[in-house]
Amino acid sequence: MKPPPFAYHAPTDLDEAVGLLAEAGDEGKVLAGGQSLIPLLNMRLAAPRVLVDINAVAGLEDIRVDAAGVRVGARVRHAELEADTAAAEAVPLLGQGLRLVAHPVIRNRGTTVGSIAHADPSAEMPAVLALLEGAVEVRGRAGTRTVPAAEFVTGPMETALAPGEIAVAARFPRPRPGTGTAFVETARRNGDYALCGAAAAVTLGADGRITAARCCLISVAPVPLVVDLTDHLAGRTARLGDLDGAAAAAAEQADPEDDIHAGADYRRHLARVLTARALARAAAAAPAAVADTYTGASR
């Protein structure tokens, strides 16, 4: 249970980091918070020849909040982002997802961008990025490119990152006006990866009826599963009964597997129940100004 040998570099400059990583090619790995990579090394499930530690690289440490949303640098810890009130106000789904990521002690060290780059199908933050239609800024020797969330995670623990590329930041857009969000999940123990989780974004019109609804499911597909439920819900209210059909439609798209933690049937059941719950909470969280003008049946 000790890591295999590797060469270690801790550059302070981004171009140097990219250079070192490019030189190592297939055999190089970025070390961010280490909360996923070091367990893999300890269990000898990964054996990179070169580790490039980015924890001292300048320019990756910022959380920037502007009209577009929140830009999170690659060195920002889950705990730092969770504590940032401006970010929470701009994109409430960040905090709603972060509090479900492991335990506070893991969040003290693990990075949000690292979690997205790791692309575990049970991880919350890739789902947050996918539901909000965010993007990842990627730096390689050829320069910087921006990869939309829908193209970033390509499979279980597989991403669009090429060898030698570093994810320098993730961009989480503000939800559209009138939108509420929520993230709910079921895990075997507090802090564990979810057996199933559902994030939802529901937009209400001035009459309090739904104009758009999307959900993103984790742990039931190889990648975060985004399902647009607008066709099922447009013009409806967000009463639980009204949401059941949409939740069932979302669960139908899930393709869970049996494992030691839960059977596929149970996970599919969770997908339906949790989607309904997430949609209801997201609608309830939609901005009060909209709710005030609402005159239809109670939600």
Partner 1 sequence: MTEDVHDIRLRVNGIQHTARVPARRLLSDCLRHDLGLTGTHVGCEHGVCGACTVLVDGRPVRSCLMLAVSAAQHADITTVEGLAAADGTPHPVQQAFAECHALQCGFCTPGFLTLVAAYLRDNPDPGEDDAREAVTGNLCRCTGYQNIVAAVLRAAEITRGQDGVPRARPPAEEGRVPEAGGGRP
Ligand X SMILES: Cc1cc2nc3c(=O)[nH]c(=O)nc-3n(C[C@H](O)[C@H](O)[C@H](O)COP(=O)(O)OP(=O)(O)OC[C@H]3O[C@@H](n4cnc5c(N)ncnc54)[C@H](O)[C@@H]3O)c2cc1C
Binding site for ligand X (CB under 6 A): 29-37, 39, 54, 74, 101-102, 106, 110-111, 113-115, 117-118, 123-125, 161, 166-167, 193
Minimum CB separation from partner 1 for residue 153, in Å? 22
Greatest extent of the chain over all pairs of C-alpha atoms, in Å:
66
Closer residue to partner 1, CB minimum distance, 8 or 177? 8
29 touches, from partner 1, ligand X, none (C-beta below 5 to 8 Å by class):
ligand X
Binding status of residue 85 toward partner 1 by CB under 8 A: no
Which residues fall within 8 angstroms of residue 171, CB to CB, at 6 or more apart?
68, 69, 70, 71, 72, 134, 135, 136, 137, 146
Dihedral, CA of residue 61, residue 23, residue 144 and residue 29, to nearest 10? -50
Dihedral, CA of residue 159, residue 162, residue 167 and residue 172, to nearest 10? -40
Minimum CB separation from ligand X for residue 38, in Å? 6
Minimum CB separation from ligand X for residue 147, in Å? 12
Give 190-214 as a DSSP string. Answer: TTSPPSEEEEEEEEE-TTS-EEEEE
217 touches, from ligand X, partner 1, none (C-beta below 5 to 8 Å by class):
none
Minimum CB separation from ligand X for residue 6, in Å? 12
- Judged by CB under 8 A, the stretch of 4-12, 86-94, 150-158, 235-243 that binds partner 1 is 4-12
Q: Are 276 and 240 in contact (CB under 8 A)?
A: yes
Please tell me the distance from the alpha carbon of residue 119 to that of residue 107, in angstroms, as a whole number: 16
Q: Are 61 and 18 in contact (CB under 8 A)?
A: no
Q: Hey, which residues between 150 and 189 contact partner 1 (CB under 8 A)? A: 189
Binding status of residue 191 toward partner 1 by CB under 8 A: yes
Q: Is 53 left (phi over 0), alpha (psi -120 to 50) or beta?
A: beta
Helix H or strand E segment including 113: helix 112-118
- Judged by CB under 8 A, the stretch of 32-40, 172-180, 256-264, 277-285 that binds partner 1 is 32-40
Among 64, 109, 145, 268, which residue interacts with partner 1 (rule: CB under 8 A)?
Answer: 109
- Judged by CB under 8 A, the stretch of 104-112, 141-149, 164-172, 249-257 that binds partner 1 is 104-112
Residue 231's identity, in one-letter code, is D
Give contact residues for partner 1 (rule: CB under 8 A): 1-8, 10, 31, 34-35, 38-39, 41-43, 49, 51, 53, 55-56, 79, 102-106, 108-109, 189-191
